[in-house]
Amino acid sequence: MINYIIKRLLTLIPVVIAVAIVIFTIMYFVPGDPAKNILGQDATEEQLQRERELLGLADPYFVQLGKFLYQLFIKLNPGTSWLSGFPVMTELRVRIPRTLLLSFLTMALGVAVGIPLGVTAAVNQNKLPDKLCMIGSMTFISIPDFWLALEAVILFGLRLHWLPTFGMSSWKCWILPVVCGSLPGIASNARQTRSAMLEVIRSDYVATAKAKGLAPGAIKYKHALPNALIPLITMMGGHLARCLGGSMILENIFSMPGMGMYLTTGITQRDYPVVRSVVVILAIVFGVVMVLVDIVYAFVDPRIKAIYENQTFNLAFWRKRKDA
Amino acid sequence: MLNSEKEQQGRGKKQSQLREVLKRLMKNKTAAVGMVIFLIIALASVLAPVLAPYDYAQMNLDETFQTPSREHLLGTDEYGRDYLSRILYGGRFSLGLGLCAQLFSLFFGVILGCFAGYYGGKTDNLIMRICDVWQSIPGILFTIILCAALGTGWINTVIAMGLGGIPGNCRMIRAQLLSLREREFIEAEHAINCPSGKIMFRHLLPNAISPLIVSSTMGIGNTINGAAGLAYLGLGVQPPTPEWGALISAARAQIRYYPYLILYPGLMLAITILSLNMFGDGLRDAMDPKLKN
Amino acid sequence: MKLTRRDFLKVSLGGAVSLSASMLLAGCGSGGSEKQTGHTKIKVGVSGDPKSLAPYALGNDARKMICFHIYQAAMHLLKAGDTPIPAICESYEMDMDGATVTVKLRDGIHDHDGNPFTASDLAYSYNTTKEVANSASYDYFTEVKAIDEKTAVIYYNPTDIVKRNNVESALAQGGVYMFTQAAWEASEDAMVATPVGTGPYRVSSFSVGAKVILEKVEDFWQAEAGYEVPRDYQANFDEIEISVITEVSQIAIALETGDIDASANVSEQDITLFQEGGEHADDFKVVKNEGFLGYFMTFNAHTELGGNINIRKAICHAVDLDGMINTLAKGEAVRMNAPYGTASSAGDYDPKWDEREYFPFSMDTAKEYLDKYLAESGKKAEDVVVKFAVQNNANCPKPAEILQAKLLELGIGVDMKVYDPATFNTILTEEDSYDFTMYCMGWNGVVNAWQLNDSSNYYYHFDKESAMYQELLSYTEPCMSRVTWTQEATEKLWQYVYDNAWVRGLYKNYDNIVVPKWVNEVVINFNRNCMYGSFVHD
Amino acid sequence: MKDNQFLSVEDLVVEYTSNDQVIHAVNRVSFRLDKGQTLGLVGETGAGKTTIAKSIIGILPDPPAKVRGGRILLEGEDLLQLDDRHMQKIRGKKISMVFQDPMTALNPNMKVGHQIQEVVELHENVSRKEAEEHAKRMLEMVGIPRDRFYEYPHQFSGGMKQRVIIAMALACKPDLLLADEPTTALDVTIQAQVLELIKNLKVEQQTSMILITHDLGVVAGLCDYVGVVYAGEIIEYGTLEDIFDHPTHPYTIGLFGALPSMGKRVKRLSPIHGLPPDPSKLPEGCSFSPRCPRATEACKKAPVEMRNLGGTHECRCILADKPGDR
């Protein structure tokens, strides 16, 4: 099992390098001249030219790419932001935990509430809970999360004074963003759990369990749910991507400075070091989480674990199995 | 002669399959309701020039922020433009955005997926690794970067949203193709040395496409929702175009004073996504009978 | 024993922790601001993220506002365009031909850590800023040398010294803040998060992108040494808590819930809550301060439509300025009757320009000019499509939309594209991708906008070899040099630009500063930043 | 009426409703079973055999299926009246079931041993240790080495899985074992071993059994009584000899006609023409009448009652008055 994890992490390295090259190329061809952006309107032509040399924008594409990869992967130094002069690493060391915490909290809440909702909807199908759950999840999937957040701020922050509306001064500041962020997650999880559970409930081994005299609750949670979880775990990757994207918008509404605004301002102000390093780090985090998802996948589904463990398997076979 | 006979039979089969799916779809009430609602909205958007009482860009600066009244059924926005016509025209841009982005990612996703699934071996591995890289930049982040790179505007947003969806579709088609490839009727095709292109698109694809169609119908709603998020960040579709996402994002400043400005486009967006999801669910059940409960 | 910076921070951190703990218990969201007499603390909301507080960093308003509290420049300006008054330095002498400025330091200067500040520190500040910031905006001086304890010489870049307002104001506005060599070397992060300046306030806590807490410097050298402290350096609060609120609508909510006391970034829609008759009129008041960023339009001579005088005039007359001001700024804005300037912001603004008609809004005159063009070119109105490039910041697209609607009424097509600021800068340099533009920029002078150099935006609009360009230069050249500048030259420039409609100034928004009732007087510095620390309050 | 009658099913009626169509799966089925005896229910697929078994053990999927009437008396107690909590005590303890498709009948996510241990812990109040030991013994009883206790279902072949299911079913020494086509999904060699296993365990534990199959060979090897099921009704009932030696109902005769037998030299097998009736629109009168070569007008009019042909042999056909011979 361990060497499978190592092998899986090793495959991550070429992917991350490829991501770095892709993001570098995209930013290289993005219109907009960073030097002009830094010096402002009144810089003279040779001032701009000197600035471009200082920033290293003057040399050809491959030289720049080489320098960037060398700095990032060998020296592990993402450089300093051109606009604020703030080393990217110090800024990220503060901002990454905030975004990741917000994303994981929204994801956890999404799972913790979504899955039981889905299970109850699946178990008493076409009865009231099922209808309610489906209508609720349909509505929450379709409301943009920033609209939800703004309404929540007005209701809970302004009118009722229950919760703080911005900043991170106390744990209570995290309640509104996490709840607003997790609602779409809860909706989609509930729907996916419901359809997975429906499929499992109709299967033969659930009939066997009933024939053994197990109570409905035991059947639901000891036999049906574990098997229904397997397809859900593969969805966790997509779920995390949505939570990461969602938290970028929520950070702005609740003024919790995380990677979101840092990246979007970085992009609009053509602050290349910021954009490149943030994207690469997000890709690494995302990659590692996907490996975790696969490992959890193995624990839950013995068949996959067997594949991982026996040495004779070759990567291609496993790849095909996972991609299928 | 043998071939043409097979053609008839093949076409006959497909037609009946289509009619079969439609029949089952009609039986499923939620799907039918979903489809009807979506058609109404799509029609309203297409007929916007006829239905809309005013031209969507016609300003009247002394009639700003009118609450819904007789002349302006849904009131006016901050420049005194009739909000009903802006929403109707907005429908064109939003639905167009959703449809085109999905078609864009469906089109390229299917081609990539078919090559990967059908040929297998090196091409499959190469395409899969490209998808790995493509998907390792999380969804909305990839779209944000593309929007910034391509610049704002409707077409750029469509391309950016479309590119984001390609790897997902590619994987789905490939998985379907992998399972179908071993089936006998494909070996039969080889036997009569039917050109591989024909096999791929005439025979493999119709069987593999159904899950994609389902995911795309639901994808349309999410794409429009995503556009609202992008507009919030200042990217994507810009104010002059009355796309729903941009309308919602622009109206957020007046959320406390004129809530109806964010309510109406939001409702239209919600209804569209609701109807698409209902239709999508119905379609999935109709296309895949064993899933029916 | 002097508290070294390390243990001072430890003490203040301890203080900050206990303070925030008590605030936590009180529930940071609940209850209005403490209503005891003699407010010792003011909570401020800003919409921009100051990012770094290093002395050299470029940056947005929030950063500049905080830095003006922490650092001081060589000299000080009370109002843009005045002659500088003493700050760190007592006096200065300019030597035009030698391109040098010699400054004399005051005595008794020390920074927050107690390190004495001498002429060598001044030289060190200038040279380090130039070298560390590696930015072309510090090209106006080459080097600074200290002659003795109290005097230093700044060697200017010879071409720059001639420019009219680059010398005096550079001493105050040149973006170089004073810090001691000892403090600089002691700081690990180049003062990004732990700045040590000489100003009336110091940073007591800094959480990246979220909150900066400034603390009154008890032994502020200027007060200690008995010098007269200018009104925007008074430290009337013990503590200023600056919170970064990125969502604009949240700033008003933060004011209403009492999370912050004052802010200068409240949106136009929310300001009515705090003005007379508003929901919170009895707790707050709104002070108007003319904004720095003004909206204006420029025309691109390269293209056929941009280069045509009639089209330009038609567009200028189609601008419904009153409609824009009433709709977008609720009638509260300063009209610009000259390219790039308003009376209060530009030293060279001639008051009589305000009496003149400046492209009065009338669709008929616009129609006239359009018909003239149509007759000339033989085209029909429908097939005239104007390419309109708009910069997407500070609400630029809003006035642009109103103009677009008016032009559509005229019957001509408008292909309007909104670009984010970075892309906009490159679009300007492309000759045929736009006929006219709208963007907002801050200038402190009509001439100042044209004079700087040949790469500034407006020159892009002209074909360098064309006669039009030479004609334009003949008007801008006399205003360029500090020596040859006269008010008539500026008048001639205004007339030329007005007759040819090359540039059309629109309006400037007011910055509405919302302050609590217990603040009696709002102090604004020369750079239009609110000096919260020096607000006069009961 | 607590005589030694072990199991008695009286006028059982079960219907399925799916999108407003009512399917009469079981129409007034009645039969009795003594302790230790084995009853074989034979018939074409879709005749309602599995529904009968599932309604006895009470695991009919409720939304579509509904027991409309009749009684199922187990030692005098009517199972249909019991609430679910009661039934849970009976399922797996008094009655247990073996399913048709071993490949999907085991929970792929739970170790094989634990799935057996679960039923033991449920019904025998023994400690976890003893339950595990008991489960291991059961595994050995069905011929699986005890150290495979901790392996997962996907590591077993079809036959081995069926053995596990049998071990699970017999773990608590049930009084009645319902076997729903236990060997259909297995190939012939494994089939014989599994049948042998069931036979030995049945004798050893004195369990009575209802064997559902469409394979007459299996019935011959195991059953004491046979009931031929057609379109939700038992059309012929009797001992093994009654049915195998004296098939009287035309459908039963047809069944044997369709059976290739080594002894007789028969050029062509005689299949029963036509298809089983549509369960939602059952014909008037005798349900076999449309396909019955000797059908008369009377057959088509009124529903036919079971008639006793003497002794244990009963038949639901008005033409039949004495047992036929093959």
Is residue A62 assigned to a domain? yes
Give how far C263 is from chain B: nearest CA, Å: 17
The answer as to whether A265 is a domain residue is: no
Query: Is residue B272 assigned to a domain?
Result: yes
B135 part of a folded domain: yes
Contact A38 C135 (CB under 8 A): yes
Q: What is the 3-state secondary structure (H, E, C) of C308-350?
A: CHHHHHHHHHCCCHHHHHHHHHCCCEEECCECCECCCCCCCCC
A280 shares a domain with A225: no
User: Across all residues in chain A, what is the average pLDDT?
Assistant: 82
In the chain, the amino acid numbered B52 is A
H/E element, A194:
helix A175-201
Residue C46 is predicted with a pLDDT of 92
As for how many domains chain A has, the answer is: 2
A99 and A175 fall within a common domain: yes
- For A168, the closest chain C residue by CA position comes to C210
Q: Are A187 and A137 in contact (CB under 8 A)?
A: yes
- The D77-78 sheet, strands edge to edge: D21-33, D7-18, D65-74, D77-78
Residue B68 lies in a domain: no
Q: What's the CA gap between C60 and A84, in Å, rounded?
A: 10
D210: Cβ–Cβ under 8 A, 6 or more apart, which residues? D33, D38, D39, D40, D41, D53, D56, D176, D177, D178, D179
What CATH number does the domain containing A220 carry?
A: 1.10.3720.10
Residue at B261 is within a domain: yes
- A213 contacts D123? CB cut-off 8 A: yes
In a domain, A232, yes or no: yes
For range D72-86, the mean pLDDT: 87
C-alpha–C-alpha distance, residues C269 and C287, integer Å: 16
- Whether B62 maps to a domain, the answer reads no
Q: Over the stretch C355-414, which tens digit does the pLDDT of each residue have? A: 887 888 888 999 999 999 999 888 888 888 899 988 887 678 888 888 888 888 888 888
CB under 8 Å to A164, separation ≥6 — which residues? A157, A170, A172, A173, C27, C28, C29, C257, C259
3-state secondary structure of B265: helix
**For position C243, what pLDDT does the model report?**
93
Instruction: For residue D23, give the H/E element and its range.
Output: strand D21-33
Our CA-based measurement puts residue D281 at a distance from the nearest CA of chain A, in whole angstroms, of: 27
What mean pLDDT is reported for chain D?
Answer: 84
**Is A324 domain-assigned?**
no
Q: Which residue of D has its CA nearest to A219?
A: D107
Q: What is the pLDDT of residue B175?
A: 82
Q: Which of A167, A186, A187 is nearest to A177 (CA)?
A: A167
| In a shared domain, residues A155 and A249 | yes
Q: Are residues A151 and A185 in the same domain?
A: yes
Q: Give the nearest partner residue to A324 out of B138, B178, B266, using CB atoms.
A: B178
Domain assignment present for A263: no
The residue type of A277 is: S
Instruction: Provide the ipTM.
Output: 0.77
| Residue C398, pLDDT score | 85
Model pTM score: 0.80
CB contact under 8 A, A323 and B234: no
Q: Which two tokens stand for residue A290?
A: 């996907």
Q: What tens digit of pLDDT does each residue of B61-107 get?
A: 888 888 888 888 888 888 888 888 889 988 888 899 999 999 999 99
DSSP class of residue C352 equals: G
CATH assignment of the domain containing B146: 1.10.3720.10
Lowest-confidence region among B19-23, B273-277, C34-38: C34-38
Question: Within a domain: residue B69?
Answer: no
Q: Specify the pLDDT at position C25.
A: 41
What are C144-183's pLDDT values in tens digits?
999 998 999 988 887 766 665 556 767 877 678 899 999 9
Span B206-256, pLDDT tens digits: 777 777 888 888 888 888 888 888 888 778 787 778 888 888 888 888 888
Give me the mean pLDDT over the D95-120 stretch: 88
Q: How far apart are CA B146 and CA A274, in angstroms?
A: 16
Q: Which of C136, C189, C193 sits opposite A43 (nearest CB)?
A: C136
Give the residue on B whose Cα is nearest the Cα of A18: B133
Instruction: State both tokens at C204.
Output: 């007591």
Contact A323 B248 (CB under 8 A): no
- A55/A117 same-domain check: no
- How much is the pLDDT for B14? 53
CA distance C451 to C478: 10
- Domain co-membership, A185 together with A313: no
Domain that holds residue B136: 14-57+74-291
The residue among C261, C310, C328 whose CA lies nearest residue C507 is C328
Answer whether residue A85 is part of any domain: no
Say how far apart CA B63 and CA C213 lie, in whole Å.
45
Which residue in D has a C-alpha nearest to residue A126's C-alpha?
A: D63
Which of residues C347 and C513 earns the better pLDDT score? C513
pLDDT of residue B291: 43
Which residues of A fall within a CB distance of 8 Å from D57? 211
Interface present between C and A (3 or more CB pairs within 8 Å): yes
- Per residue in D121-162, pLDDT (tens digit) is 888 888 999 999 999 988 888 888 888 899 888 888 888 888
User: Facing residues of C46 across strands?
Assistant: C244
Pull the structure tokens for residue C261. 């006391």
Q: Sign of torsion, CA B199 B202 B203 B208?
A: positive
Report yes or no on A224 lying in a domain: yes
- Chain A hits for C425, Cβ within 8 Å: 32-33, 36-37, 41
CA C427 to chain centre: 24
* Whether residue A188 sits in one domain with residue A290: no
Do the domain assignments include residue B96? Answer: yes
Edge-first strand order for the sheet with D38-42 is: D95-98, D176-180, D208-213, D38-42, D225-230, D233-239, D314-315, D307-308
pLDDT band, very low/low/confident/very high, at B203 (cuts 50, 70, 90): confident
* Subunits in contact with chain D (3 or more CB pairs closer than 8 Å): A
CB contact under 8 A, B152 and C323: no
The answer to whether the beta carbons of residues D276 and D230 sit under 8 Å apart is yes
Neighbours of C441 (CB within 10 A): 18
Does the pLDDT of residue C214 top 90, yes or no?
A: yes
Closest chain D residue to A299, measured at CA = D109
Q: How confident is the model at residue C284 (pLDDT cuts 50, 70, 90)?
A: very high
Please give, rounded to a whole number of angstroms, the shortest distance from the CA of A125 to a CA of chain D: 9
Burial of B265 (0-12, 13-18, 19+ CB in 10 A): buried
Residue B292 confidence class, pLDDT cut points 50, 70, 90 = very low
The pLDDT, as a whole number, for residue B25 is 75
Range of the domain at A127: 95-256
Do A48 and A1 share a structural domain?
yes
Burial of residue C295 (number of CB atoms within 10 Å: 0-12, 13-18, 19+): buried
Identify which of B57, B58, B238 has the shortest CB distance to residue C418.
B238
Q: Give B61 to chain C, closest Cα distance, Å.
A: 6
Structure tokens at C377: 């070119």
Q: Are residues A274 and A247 in the same domain?
A: no
**Nearest-angstrom CA–CA distance, C458 and C464:** 11
Nearest to C52 by CA among C181, C188, C194: C194
Across chain B, mean pLDDT equals: 80
A264 in a domain, yes or no? no
DSSP strand pairing (D225-230 vs C89-95): unpaired
Which of A45-49, A165-169, B132-136, C61-65 has the lowest average pLDDT? A45-49
Residue B63 domain flag: no
Nearest CA in chain C to B258: C269
The count of domains in chain B is 1
The string of DSSP codes covering B165-190 is: HHHHHHHHHHHHHHHHHTSHHHHHHH
Asked if C425 is an interface residue toward chain A (Cβ–Cβ < 8 A), one would say: yes
Closest by CA position to A37, among listed B81, C422, D34: C422
Boundary (domain end) residue, out of A233, A256, A279: A256
The answer on A135 and A102 residing in a single domain is: yes
User: Between chain A and chain B, how many beta carbons pairs sit less than 8 Å apart?
Assistant: 136
Out of A26, A202, A252, closest to residue B149 by CB: A26
Name the more confident of B108 and B185. Answer: B108
pLDDT at C4: 43
Q: Is residue A3 domain-shared with residue A130, that is, in the same domain?
A: no
* Token pair 């007592």: residue: C90
Residues 6+ apart with CB under 8 A from A76: none
More confidently predicted of D322 and A274: A274
What are C91-110's pLDDT values in tens digits?
888 887 778 888 999 888 89
Which residue's structure tokens are 């005051």? C106
What percentage of chain A carries pLDDT values higher than 70?
Answer: 92
Q: What is the pLDDT along chain A (324 residues), one digit of tens a residue?
A: 778 788 888 888 888 899 999 889 888 888 778 887 777 666 667 777 888 888 888 888 889 899 888 888 888 888 888 877 778 888 888 888 888 899 889 999 999 999 888 888 888 777 888 888 888 887 888 788 888 888 888 888 888 888 888 888 788 889 999 999 899 889 888 888 888 888 888 888 888 898 888 888 888 888 888 888 887 887 787 788 888 888 888 888 888 888 888 888 888 788 888 888 888 888 888 888 888 887 887 777 777 777 666 644 444 455 555 554
D57-60 contact pairs (CB < 8 A, 24+):
D57/A211, D57/D91, D57/D95, D57/D96, D57/D97, D57/D178, D58/D82, D58/D84, D58/D87, D58/D90, D58/D91, D59/A207, D59/A210, D59/A211, D59/D91, D59/D97, D60/D14
Angle, helix B244-251 to helix B83-119, in steps of 10 degrees: 130
Q: What is the pLDDT of residues C452-464, one digit of tens each?
A: 444 455 567 777 7
SS (H, E, C) C119-152: HHHHHHHHHHHHHHHCCHHHCCEEEEEECCCCEE
Contacts of B49 (CB under 8 A, 6+ apart): none
Domains belonging to chain C, first-starting first, are: 41-283+517-537 (3.40.190.10), 290-510 (3.10.105.10)
